[in-house]
């Protein structure tokens, strides 16, 4: 499922956590595993020869700490999250739009996916 | 607090509940029973989990509700009890020396909540319980992911105990304390980089057949 809201843009060389909140979909099941894909959206002049490698690590989380971008304050949220450490975009990707997709396997056999876009801003 | 012999139920007669997450400042008195967890039982990964009375939680929550008058705050309350031989038992800031026990028991009871108050309290409490992690580490031999323990209590049939993804069935006499580990609270994510699923409502669409409405 494509979410209409894009992630906050990421800068070249920046590394940060990105997360999808699957809480509304989980029900009584639990998350078993997760994987992420990263690809350039089509029809762009910017390039990234190794977009998938921008996914540095993935994890499941039932608690995360959200960081307020203004105050920097941390707030703990409970739920069902798929989190990925994303970053290391090359300079050639400046201005590119990436599509980040998380897939979560659930204990009841369902496999759910959410994706959205993130703009790679020039540093 | 008076602790009986191992294997026996333990009666806690009086509990002083101090400030809870900055949201509740009250003194509660309740009486309940809870189990002893025996450390180092040969071959047992998690030791012995003995009877835990359902009334433990109910009594505590009721007491908190009564004293605080704040259902939400009470629900967020996290309960921690630690007992060992001549070791202090800590309960929401109240510390009592245990008179008789070879065991260490820690119980964290919380109705998890998204609010900063509840979660913040949880985090602060977790930061205080390195001893508990060491205890479980000694029992299980595992060191990873020992950050947080929640006890969602009481099942008629003992559920499996989970430890870092490994589950184990534990034989118990009666009811059981369910131990559930959560991962470390170390995943800071910007709110602008957290997207929430709207939920999936799969409604069958129309057949695709175009129906012409004939006007009169």
Q: Tens of pLDDT along A23-45? A: 999 988 889 999 999 999 988 89
Asked whether the predicted pLDDT for residue B163 surpasses 60, the reply is no
CA distance B2 to B33: 11
pLDDT of residue A28: 85
Question: What tokens were used for A17?
Answer: 């956590």
Which SS3 state, helix, strand or coil, does residue B72 take? helix
Question: What tokens were used for B182?
Answer: 């959560």
pLDDT of residue B209: 55
Asked whether the predicted pLDDT for residue B7 surpasses 70, the reply is no
Instruction: Give ipTM to 2 decimals.
Output: 0.89
- For residue range A66-102, list pLDDT tens digits in order: 877 777 777 878 889 999 999 999 999 999 999 999 9
Mean pLDDT comparison of B38-42, B46-50, B116-120, B212-216, highest-scoring range: B212-216
A64 with B200: Cβ contact below 8 A: no
The full DSSP string for B124-154 is: HHHHT-HHHHHHHHHHH---TT-SEEEE---
Q: Are A102 and A34 in contact (CB under 8 A)?
A: yes
B192 with A69: Cβ contact below 8 A: yes
Mean pLDDT for chain B?
39
- For residue range B75-120, list pLDDT tens digits in order: 333 333 333 333 343 333 333 333 333 223 333 333 333 333 332 2
pLDDT of residue A30: 87
Residue of B112, B119, B187 lying closest to A61 (CB–CB): B187
DSSP B60: H
Question: What tokens were used for A63?
Answer: 């608690």
pLDDT of residue A10: 93
When comparing pLDDT for A108 and B110, which is higher? A108
CA distance B78 to A76: 15
Residue B188 pLDDT class (50, 70, 90 cuts): confident
Residue of A3, A25, A79 lying closest to B195 (CB–CB): A3
Which SS3 state, helix, strand or coil, does residue A1 take? coil
Residue A117 pLDDT class (50, 70, 90 cuts): very high
Cα separation values, B41 from B46, B126, B142, B143, B202, Å: 8, 25, 16, 19, 51
CA–CA min distance A7, chain B (Å): 5
Residue of B187, B191, B195 lying closest to A114 (CB–CB): B195
A116 with B186: Cβ contact below 8 A: no
Q: What are phi and psi of B114, to 5 degrees?
A: -80, -15
B187 with A23: Cβ contact below 8 A: no
Choosing among B196, B199, B201, B202, which should be mutated to test the A contact, i.e. which has the most A CBs within 10 A? B196
Choosing among B118, B187, B198, B200, which should be mutated to test the A contact, i.e. which has the most A CBs within 10 A? B187
Handedness of CA B20, B23, B26, B32 (dihedral sign): negative
């Amino acid at each position: 499922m494509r979410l209409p809201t894009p992630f906050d843009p990421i800068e070249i060389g920046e590394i940060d956590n990105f997360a999808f909140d699957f809480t509304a979909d989980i029900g009584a099941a639990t998350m078993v595993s997760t994987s992420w894909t990263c690809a350039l959206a089509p029809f762009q002049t910017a390039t990234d020869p190794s977009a998938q490698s921008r996914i540095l690590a993935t994890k499941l989380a039932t608690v995360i700490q959200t960081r307020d971008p203004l105050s920097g304050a941390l707030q703990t949220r409970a739920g069902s999250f798929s989190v990925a450490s994303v970053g290391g975009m090359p300079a050639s990707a400046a201005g590119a739009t990436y599509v980040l997709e998380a897939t979560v396997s659930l204990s009841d056999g369902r496999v759910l996916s959410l994706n959205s876009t993130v703009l790679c801003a020039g540093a | 607090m008076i602790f009986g012999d191992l294997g026996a139920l333990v009666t806690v007669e009086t509990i002083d509940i101090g400030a809870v997450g900055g949201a509740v400042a009250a003194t509660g008195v309740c009486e309940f029973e809870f189990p002893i967890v025996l450390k180092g039982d040969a071959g047992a990964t998690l030791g012995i989990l003995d009877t835990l009375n359902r009334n433990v939680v109910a009594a505590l929550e009721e007491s908190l509700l009564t004293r605080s008058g704040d259902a939400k705050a009470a629900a967020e309350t996290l309960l921690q009890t630690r007992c060992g031989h001549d070791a202090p038992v800590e309960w929401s800031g109240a510390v009592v020396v245990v008179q008789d026990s070879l065991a260490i028991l820690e119980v964290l009871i919380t109705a998890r909540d998204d609010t900063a108050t509840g979660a913040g309290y949880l985090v602060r409490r977790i930061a205080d319980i390195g001893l508990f992690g060491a205890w479980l580490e000694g029992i299980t031999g595992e060191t990873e992911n020992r950050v947080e323990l929640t006890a969602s209590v009481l099942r008629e049939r003992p559920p499996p105990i989970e430890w870092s993804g490994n589950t184990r069935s534990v034989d118990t006499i009666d009811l059981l304390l369910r131990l559930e580990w959560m991962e470390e609270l170390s995943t800071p994510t910007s709110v602008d980089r957290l997207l929430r699923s709207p939920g999936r409502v799969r409604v069958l669409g129309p057949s695709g057949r175009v129906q012409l409405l004939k006007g009169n």
